[in-house]
A and B are shown apart, each in its own frame.
Chain A
Amino acid sequence: MEERIPLFVALRDIRFARGRFALMGTVVALITTLVVFLHGLTGGLAGEASSAVAGLPADRVVFGAPAGAAPEVSFSRSTVDDAALAAWRAAPGVRSAEPFGVAMTRLAGASAAVPVGAFGGTAGLLPPLLSGRAPGDGEVAVGERVARDAGLRAGDRVTLGARSGVTVSGVTADRGHAHAPAVWTTLATWREATRQRQPTALAVRGDGRPSGEAARATKAVGRDAALDGIDGYVAEHGTLQLIQGFLLVVSALVVGAFFTVWTVQRRPDVAVLKAVGASSGYLVRDALAQALAVLVAGTAAGGAAGFCGGWLAARSVPFELGAATAAVPMAAMVLLGLAGSALAVRRITSVDPLTALGASR
C-alpha cells in the first residue's frame, strides 16, 4: 500500500515554502530558456551551414584527393577524378554515383551581389523547384532567399563567379552551404564559374564499394557524417552543443545543491516521519516527486519562453526549432535535474529516526 506516489507532504512543503521553490523554479526556467534557445540556434545555424549537403539524394558521399594525397572528409580539399568516378559506378552494390561540385563564390545580378555556395551537378541533385525549371548549361537555379535579396526571377541574367551571362532558370526551396545560400547549375557551368577542373565529390546510392586503387584514393561516408566536411561545421556545431551540455550540467548541479540544502533543513521532519513509520523509500520518493514537480514546472515555463524568444529572434538570427526537437533538451533538463536531486535526497536514508526523540539523551 505504501508504494503509491507520495506527494502529500511534498506538495504542502512547496506551498509552504513557496518563495524558495519559486526561486528554484525560476532558475530552472531561465536555464531551460537558454538551452532551448541555443538548441534552436544550433538547428538554425546547422541548417544554414549544411542543409544543401544534408538534402542530397544520396546514401553516402565519396570524397577524393589529388594524386599522392590521402582522401579527407572535406569539401574544400576533395576532388574526384574520372577514374574514381568510373570505379564507383562499376562497383557491385552501387546503384548510382553522381559527381557534383561545391565551391564558395559570388552571384551578381543587375542590382545586387550575394555570396553563394555554388553546386554543380545533375538535375537529380536539385532541391524541390518552386518555379521555373532545372538549369541546363549556362543556367542557374537560385533559392528563394537569393531571388528575394538579389531581386531575381526566371530569365534574368547574372554573373556566377567567373562565368558571366548565366540565365536564372528557376527558383528552388532554400538550402544553405557554409552559411551562404546554395545555387545550382550543371557541372560544366560550375567548372567555368569556379575554374575547377574536377568535381568535388560523388553522391552515391547503394551499399557497395570499389576495390583496388579507387578504394585507396577515395573515402566514402554516410550523408550525415559528410556534414563534417563543411568548413567550420564541426567546430561551430560542437561549440554550441558543448555550451548546451555545460548548461545542462550546471542546471543539474544547481538543482542538486538546492535539494541538498533543502534536505538538510528537512532532517528533523524526516526523522519524525521515519519515527511514525515512514520508510526511507517512501520519503525518497516523496522528495523526488517534489523535485520532479519543480523541474517539470520550471522546464515547461522555460521551454515556452525559449520558443517565444526564438520566434521573435528568428527575424534576425537563424533559428530552427520544432516541438519534437525542443523536447530533447527539455527532457534532458528534467532527467539531469532529477539525477542531481537523487544525489541530494539520498541523504534521507541516513537520517536516524531516533533523533526525533530529542538530542538530550
Chain B
Amino acid sequence: MTDPAPLLLESVELTYPDGGRRLTALDGVSLAVAAGELVAVAGPSGSGKSSLLAVAATLLRPDSGRVVVAGRDTAGLGGRDRARLRREHVGIVFQQANLLASLTAVEQLLAVEHLRGGSVREGRRRAEELLESVGLGADQRHRRPHQLSGGERQRVNIARALYGGPSVLLVDEPTSALDRERGERVMRLLASVTRRHRTATVLVTHDRPLLDHADRVLTMTDGRLGEGS
C-alpha cells in the first residue's frame, strides 16, 4: 500500500470578485504530490499558479473542492489551526527572499523554532547544519539580509522553509530575482532537498528552461491544470 500524498487537491474552485462579476482563478484543479516528488507548475502571469500555491499553503480558502495537507482536510480549520498546520507541515519559499531585516541568517531559522515553541539554544545547531547543507558558508550565517547576495538570501529562504521539517514545500518563482547561473544552482538545490527531505514540493515558475529539474511538469492555463509543458 502506498503512502498517502502529503499534498492533495481535489476539484478545487477559487473565484475572486472582479467588479460586478467573479473571476475564476482555479477551475476544478486536482493535484496529488507524493513525498520526495518535485512538481513544477508553469504558465503565464495571471493563469492561476500563485492562487494554486496560496490555496495549498492554506492562505486562501477555496470556494469548493478539497485541500488535504499532511493527511488533514483543511476545509473545517479556523485561522489558528491553519497557522499551526503551516507551522508544522508546510514550508514556503517566497519569490523575494522575504527575510526579516533585523535577523541574521541563523536567526531567520531560529525565529521559526521560536514560534514553534522550541528551544532557540538547541535549535541553533540544526539551523547551522541546514544552512551549511544549502551551501551557505560559515561567514555568511551571521550576516543580516542586506549583507548577503541575492543567491545567498534565496538559500536562507530555502533553509528557513525546510527548518520545521515540512512534508509540503511550496516554492514561488524562486529564480525570478536571480541570473541564469544562480537560478540554475537554486533549482538544483531545490531538487536535491526535495529528495533528501522527502518533501512534496510544488514549484510555480514561468522560467521554462528550469523545468528540467522537476519530476513532473504541469501547465496552468486560465485556472485549469494540465499535464506537460
Give residues of chain A (164-194) contacting chain B, Cβ–Cβ below 8 Å. Answer: none
Q: If the complex has contacts A2-B115, A356-B98, A361-B51, are A279 and B107 also in contact, measured as CB distance less than 8 A?
A: no
Contact between A277 and B102, CB atoms less than 8 A apart = no
A-B contact pairs, 8 of them (CB 8 A): A9-B114, A269-B101, A273-B115, A276-B92, A277-B83, A354-B59, A357-B50, A358-B172
Does A12 belong to the interface (CB within 8 Å)? yes
Closest A-B pairs by Cβ, 9 of them: A1-B117, A277-B87, A16-B102, A361-B50, A8-B114, A277-B86, A12-B102, A272-B98, A13-B102
Q: A350 → chain B, closest Cβ, in Å? A: 12
Does A274 belong to the interface (CB within 8 Å)? yes
Alpha-carbon distance between A280 and B90 when the two chains are bound, in angstroms: 18
* Residues of chain B having any CB pair with chain A under 8 Å: 45-46, 49-51, 53-54, 57, 59-60, 79-80, 83-88, 90, 92, 94-96, 98, 100-103, 107, 110-112, 114-118, 120, 144, 160-161, 164, 172-173
Give residues of chain A (48-67) contacting chain B, Cβ–Cβ below 8 Å. Answer: none
Alpha-carbon distance between A356 and B59 when the two chains are bound, in angstroms: 10
Chain A residues with CB under 8 Å of B84's CB are 277, 279
Chain A residues with CB under 8 Å of B57's CB are 275, 357
Partner of A277, one of B96, B103, B116: B116
Does A15 belong to the interface (CB within 8 Å)? yes
Chain B residues with CB under 8 Å of A276's CB are 86-87, 92, 112, 115, 160-161
Alpha-carbon distance between A258 and B201 when the two chains are bound, in angstroms: 41
Partner of A354, one of B54, B85, B114: B54
Q: B125 → chain A, closest Cβ, in Å? A: 17
Alpha-carbon distance between A9 and B118 when the two chains are bound, in angstroms: 15
Does A324 belong to the interface (CB within 8 Å)? no
Which of A4, A6, A276, A353 has the most CB atoms of chain B within a 10 A radius of its CB?
A276
Contact between B111 and A9, CB atoms less than 8 A apart = yes
Does A360 belong to the interface (CB within 8 Å)? yes
Beta-carbon contacts of A331-361 to B below 8 Å, as 1s and 0s? Answer: 0000000000000000000000110111011
Contact between A274 and B83, CB atoms less than 8 A apart = yes
Contact between B94 and A277, CB atoms less than 8 A apart = no
Instruction: Give the residue name and chain of the A residue nearest to B173 (CB).
Output: A358
Does A323 belong to the interface (CB within 8 Å)? no
Instruction: Give the residue name and chain of the B residue nearest to A7 (CB).
Output: B114
Alpha-carbon distance between A354 and B120 when the two chains are bound, in angstroms: 27
Chain B residues with CB under 8 Å of A353's CB are 59
Alpha-carbon distance between A360 and B90 when the two chains are bound, in angstroms: 22
Q: B169 → chain A, closest Cβ, in Å? A: 12
Contact between B102 and A9, CB atoms less than 8 A apart = yes
Alpha-carbon distance between A8 and B124 when the two chains are bound, in angstroms: 13
Partner of B80, one of A12, A17, A279: A279
Alpha-carbon distance between A6 and B46 when the two chains are bound, in angstroms: 38
Does A311 belong to the interface (CB within 8 Å)? no
Chain B residues with CB under 8 Å of A13's CB are 102
Give residues of chain A (214-242) contacting chain B, Cβ–Cβ below 8 Å. Answer: none
Contact between A354 and B94, CB atoms less than 8 A apart = no
Contact between B54 and A12, CB atoms less than 8 A apart = no
Instruction: Give the residue name and chain of the A residue nearest to B172 (CB).
Output: A357
Partner of B102, one of A4, A17, A280, A360: A17
Q: If the complex has contacts A16-B101, A272-B98, are A1 and B116 also in contact, measured as CB distance less than 8 A?
A: yes
Partner of B110, one of A1, A8, A281, A357: A8
Q: A20 → chain B, closest Cβ, in Å? A: 12
Alpha-carbon distance between A354 and B170 when the two chains are bound, in angstroms: 13
Contact between B50 and A358, CB atoms less than 8 A apart = yes
Chain A residues with CB under 8 Å of B85's CB are 277
Partner of A273, one of B101, B111, B117: B111
Contact between A278 and B83, CB atoms less than 8 A apart = yes
Alpha-carbon distance between A6 and B120 when the two chains are bound, in angstroms: 12
Partner of B53, one of A278, A279, A280, A357: A357
Q: If the complex has contacts A6-B114, A9-B103, A357-B54, are A275 and B96 also in contact, measured as CB distance less than 8 A?
A: no
Partner of B98, one of A12, A268, A277: A268
Q: If the complex has contacts A8-B111, A279-B83, are A357 and B102 also in contact, measured as CB distance less than 8 A?
A: no
Q: A270 → chain B, closest Cβ, in Å? A: 10
Instruction: Give the residue name and chain of the B residue nearest to A11 (CB).
Output: B102
Alpha-carbon distance between A268 and B88 when the two chains are bound, in angstroms: 22
